[in-house]
């Protein structure tokens, strides 16, 4: 099958993540099975990349072990990753905080399911707070990419590694059961070789890849008992996060040029919302959408600009209303902001979203 000379295949989102990892020069994957993301580990095991690229694939004994293997691998400058679903990612938060503190790059994939606790195996977006507020202890942020298609599942793996090493910071791909389980057309990225040891020595002078002549020992640690030094380290981290906020915001505009009303949605909720917009546009209502692609850093300025000219914003999330807080912080009262969502594994339908918009136009967004 050729679409303009590129190989098009049909894959589940989870399978696309696994194939993309092998192709983008990933050195290691450490994970523990959990629905709805087990196909990532299963696909890697079936593909046996250790026989081709030399990539290590290991089923760890737990999520705690997985994230600490990522901490260790990342500390040596290797491109390493793990994946899990919500309760498993909750277990990893300590390790992610340690990585942020020690400035160790790594990629964590969260194919979300409903909570709290073990919750449900059905889809959800209720880990927004956990992902965008750090999740573990301390003043830190994780860069969060939110794919809304199988193609983006494939594309964001390499993007995540690039960001992780550019900023020496953990990067999360925040997906969900819908995007992970559905099959769509996808063009996989071209093969890129794993970095050689010499390339890692060159690109990661901070990494603990063995003592080299003419340089001091490298340490990867989050512990510093001198508060003055630790405050300087925190200031450095905050400066880094400010740079990320200034440079790495990504979002998609959908039918916003003439929009009177705006939906803000990410991931699978954005896909469902697009269908709702098709229904509303057919009724002559000018509704558009802003889809944050990076959830942290959040597209604050873009939303603030749109808030000046739309009559109302609906945050559509598959949760009780989490991203709406970031939208309100961006809008700063310039226009009304409401939330629509479902919980516990239930999925909002396009019709429900369209009905919410039409009733808001009649009752709340009257100007």
Partner 1 sequence: MKQEIIIAGFGGQGVLSMGKILAYSALMEEKEVTWMPSYGPEQRGGTANVTVIISDQEISSPVLSQFDVAVILNQPSLDRFEKAVKPGGTLIYDPYGIATPPTRTDIAVVCIQAMDAVVELADVKAYNMIVLGALLEVAPLVTRENVLAALRKTLPERHHHLIPLNADALDRGASLVHA
Locate 281 and state its tokens: 């546009």
Q: Which is nearer to partner 1, 272 or 306 (CB)?
A: 272
Q: At what angle do helices 350-363 and 267-282 cross, to 10 degrees?
A: 60
In this structure, are residues 126 and 343 in contact, taking their beta carbons and an 8 Å threshold?
Answer: yes
Burial class (CB in 10 A: 0-12, 13-18, 19+), 189: middle
The span from the CA of 187 to the CA of 56, in Å, is 24
Q: Which is nearer to partner 1, 35 or 338 (CB)?
A: 35
Q: Which is nearer to partner 1, 100 or 318 (CB)?
A: 318
By the rule CB under 8 A, 183 interacts with partner 1: yes
By the rule CB under 8 A, 57 interacts with partner 1: no
- Interface residue with partner 1 among 56, 102, 182, 361 (CB under 8 A) is 182
- Interface residue with partner 1 among 231, 278, 283, 301 (CB under 8 A) is 278
Q: What is the 3-state secondary structure (H, E, C) of 315-334?
A: EEECCCCCHHHHHHHHHCCC
Smallest distance from partner 1 to CB 269, Å: 10
Interface segment toward partner 1; rule CB under 8 A; list 3-11, 212-220, 225-233, 331-339: 3-11
The span from the CA of 204 to the CA of 212, in Å, is 13
By the rule CB under 8 A, 178 interacts with partner 1: yes
Interface segment toward partner 1; rule CB under 8 A; list 77-85, 154-162, 271-279, 330-338: 271-279
The four Cα atoms 99, 101, 102, 106 give a dihedral, to 10 degrees, of 30
Smallest distance from partner 1 to CB 211, Å: 49
The span from the CA of 299 to the CA of 157, in Å, is 21
In this structure, are residues 172 and 142 in contact, taking their beta carbons and an 8 Å threshold?
Answer: yes
By the rule CB under 8 A, 282 interacts with partner 1: no
- Interface residue with partner 1 among 83, 268, 294, 322 (CB under 8 A) is 268
Q: Which is nearer to partner 1, 3 or 211 (CB)?
A: 3
Which has the closest alpha carbon to 260: 304, 306, 328, 302? Answer: 306
- Interface residue with partner 1 among 28, 36, 74, 297 (CB under 8 A) is 36
Binding site for partner 1 (CB under 8 A): 1, 3, 8-10, 35-36, 121-122, 177-178, 181-185, 268, 271-278, 345, 347, 349-351
């Amino acid at each position: 099958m050729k679409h303009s000379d590129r190989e098009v295949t049909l894959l589940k989102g989870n399978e696309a993540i696994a194939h993309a990892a092998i192709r983008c020069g990933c050195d290691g994957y450490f994970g523990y099975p959990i629905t709805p993301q087990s196909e990532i580990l299963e696909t890697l095991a079936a593909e046996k990349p250790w026989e081709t690229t030399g990539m290590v694939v290991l089923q760890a004994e737990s999520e705690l072990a997985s994230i600490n293997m990522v901490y260790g691998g990342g500390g040596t400058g290797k491109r390493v990753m793990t994946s899990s679903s919500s309760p498993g990612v909750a277990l990893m938060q300590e390790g992610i905080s340690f990585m942020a503190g020690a400035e160790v790059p790594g990629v964590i994939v969260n194919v979300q399911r409903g909570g709290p606790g073990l919750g449900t195996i059905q889809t959800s977006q209720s880990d927004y707070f956990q992902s965008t507020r750090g999740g573990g202890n301390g003043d830190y942020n994780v860069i969060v990419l939110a794919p809304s298609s199988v193609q983006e599942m494939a594309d964001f793996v390499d993007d995540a590694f690039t960001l992780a090493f550019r900023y020496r910071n953990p990067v999360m791909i925040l997906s969900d059961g819908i995007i992970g389980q559905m099959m769509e057309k996808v063009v996989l990225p071209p093969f890129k070789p794993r970095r050689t040891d010499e390339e890692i020595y060159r690109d990661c002078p901070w990494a603990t890849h063995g003592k080299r002549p003419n340089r001091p020992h490298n340490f990867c640690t989050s512990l510093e008992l001198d508060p003055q030094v630790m405050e300087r380290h925190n200031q450095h981290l905050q400066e880094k996060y400010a740079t990320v906020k200034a440079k790495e915001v990504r979002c998609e505009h959908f039918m916003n040029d003439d929009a009177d009303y705006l939906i803000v949605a990410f991931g699978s909720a954005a896909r469902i919302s697009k269908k709702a917009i098709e229904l509303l546009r057919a009724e002559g209502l000018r509704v558009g959408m802003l889809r944050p692609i990076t959830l942290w850093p959040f597209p604050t300025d873009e939303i603030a600009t749109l808030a000046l000219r739309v009559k109302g914003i609906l945050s559509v999330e598959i949760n009780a209303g989490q991203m709406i807080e970031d939208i309100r912080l961006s809008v700063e009262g310039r226009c009304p902001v409401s939330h629509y969502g479902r919980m516990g594994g239930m999925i909002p339908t396009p019709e429900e979203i369209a009905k919410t918009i039409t009733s808001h136009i009649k009752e709340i967004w009257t100007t």
